[in-house]
Amino acid sequence: MMFVRKDVWKLPSGDQTLLWYGRAVERLQGLPISDVTSWWSLAAMHGIDEPIWRGFNVIPAGATLPAGPAQITLWRQCQHLTWYFLPWHRGYLLAFERIVRNAIIDLGGPKDWALPYWNYSADARSRQLPPAFAKDKLVSGQRNYLFVAQRYGTGQVPQAQSPIVLDPRAVTITDTLAERFFEGSAGGGSAGFGGVKTPFWHGDESNDGTFGVLETQPHGPVHVLVGGGFKGNGLSQDPLEIGWMTNPDTAALDPIFWLHHANIDRLWNVWLRQKRRPNDSADVFANPTDPDWLDGPQDREFAMPAVDGTIYNFKARDVLDTQSPSLNYIYDDEPAGEDLTTLVAARLQRLGATPEAAFQVAGTVSMAPPKQAELLGANSGTIKLADDVVETKVRLDKDQQQRLSTTLSVSPSIQKEPDKVYLNLENVKSPTDAAVFYVYVNLPGDADPSDDTEHLAGTLSMFGVSKASKREGPTGGSGINASFDITRIIDAAFAREGLAEEISVKLVSAVPGVTSEGISIGRISVYRQEQ
């Protein structure tokens, strides 16, 4: 039997998928945290902070945490800021789904139950938190286990007054799916669809803390905008006032977490379905073939609990094909995007090439990984995100500006794709994970940011940043880095009026007043990368 994961917003009337999910949550929450198949142990695999869990009374007063395999082997495994982000979470979802399905079958439910996904990028309706997760009671009057009051944190206004609806800027995925290569670079260019090469990542200081493209958008923003931590018109720094989804150490306690990550897993499949050129075997829109990824990490094995409570290990190569007998699931919707030739040709035409010339060049574009990025320019110092709107200028080096202009100057004799341009936010630090900023490049002064998509580079969320900002944290206090492909913005500006001497970067808080003197960016830089 092939299990089918379905869009939660397209489940037909009378469908009981979520009803059975809630019953399974109740069953798993009735197990002690020492049981590796319990709701609590499964969540602790993603992350656990004992004082915070005790503050939320997840760990009852007087209870002790289990020693042995649960803590040492299973807990605190989540992979973020690493190229293992996608394969680890796929294995995690699979173990969770099997345990939930087993509970459902034991309760008399359907044997073909599969975890649904929340496709918040589909349309306006889908950006709303699915109703089944928003009410504390079922129609019968019984407790709804898919609702958790801690979703909103103690600093949040009641859900009835403020339903969760995601901003479309936070969940747009066009640029995310256009990223060609899985593995990125920490050198100022693309961070890669799947992230930067690292060892096992859950507190390893050898990682410089760079988000991959999919992790940057929509993964992180959805976590924070669902979990919040927005107290009135201020920003909470108290972990007990921050919703569970906002903090990596509590996120998996919320039942909506699993539908969010099912969608992230689905987007991996969607990205792989992007069309390459005919008969091209290059590594665009493809998983890494590096043994360090396929058989890694070498420093700690990924471990998951089976339905019977035993523990098994897996590697990235074990979870690549969801239709293989060992995984045995599909998604009901995995659309394929434009082929690479069309994408490149469209860019060249926007820069002034004729359709004939554009497609001729696009058909011969190098499929080799891009070269080392070169610095175009950087701002003059640390920026504090203490206001709703913060703007800085990045002055471009004259020589590098000229080189970029030369590659962007499309002519009938053009023989290769022009350079791409990346905006880097370096050493981002924050005392809290509860903040989101929309990043704009060259936004006109009279433009309304909420209506402007032309100059929107992407979304910066603080998910996981607070831990990376502590000296004893995973990056030794250096924070994280985020990279945004701003090629289309620079292309449009160049086609209109040429390349200016400086670039304007504006950060706009997603929630008015949710800013802090403690949130800072060490440097904002712009790089060009030869393709």
Decide if pLDDT at 324 tops 60: yes
Cis peptide before 431 (omega within 30 of 0): no
Q: Model confidence at 244, in pLDDT bands (50, 70, 90)?
A: very high
CB atoms within 10 A of CB 356: 10
Decide if pLDDT at 157 tops 90: no
CATH number of 370-529: 2.60.120
Instruction: Please list the residues that pair with 507 across neighbouring strands.
Output: 390, 439
CATH architecture of 3-331: Orthogonal Bundle (1.10)
Model pLDDT, residue 232: 56
CB atoms within 10 A of CB 469: 26
Q: Do domains 3-331 and 370-529 have the same CATH topology?
A: no
Q: Model confidence at 206, in pLDDT bands (50, 70, 90)?
A: very low
* Mean local confidence (pLDDT), 47-59: 93
Name 166's Cβ contacts closer than 8 Å, sequence gap at least 6: 120, 127, 128, 221, 222, 225, 226
pLDDT digits (tens, 9 = 90+) for 159-193: 444 679 999 999 999 999 999 999 998 789 999 99
Share of the chain above pLDDT 70, in %: 92
Closest CA to 512 of 391, 383, 389: 389
Distances (CA, A) of 249 to 53, 170, 314, 466: 9, 22, 23, 11
The H-or-E segment that residue 258 falls in is: helix 256-272
Closest CA to 211 of 456, 441, 459, 511: 459
Domains of the chain, by residue range, sit at: 3-331, 370-529
> Dihedrals φ, ψ of 8, to 5°?
-60, -30
Asked whether 264 and 214 are in contact (CB, 8 A), the reply is yes
d(CA 127, CA 423): 27
Q: Model confidence at 334, in pLDDT bands (50, 70, 90)?
A: very high
Q: Mean pLDDT across the chain, nearest whole number?
A: 90
Model pLDDT, residue 205: 47
Instruction: Please list the residues that pair with 210 across neighbouring strands.
Output: 481
Compute CA 328 distance to the chain's CA centroid, rounded to the nearest angstrom: 24
In a 13 Å sphere around the CA of 98, the CA atoms on its Cβ side amount to 16
pLDDT digits (tens, 9 = 90+) for 445-484: 999 999 999 999 999 999 999 988 886 555 557 899 999 9
Asked whether 289 and 352 are in contact (CB, 8 A), the reply is no
The H-or-E segment that residue 233 falls in is: none
Hey, is 419 helix, strand or coil? Answer: coil
**Sign of the C-alpha dihedral, residues 455, 525, 81, 178?**
positive
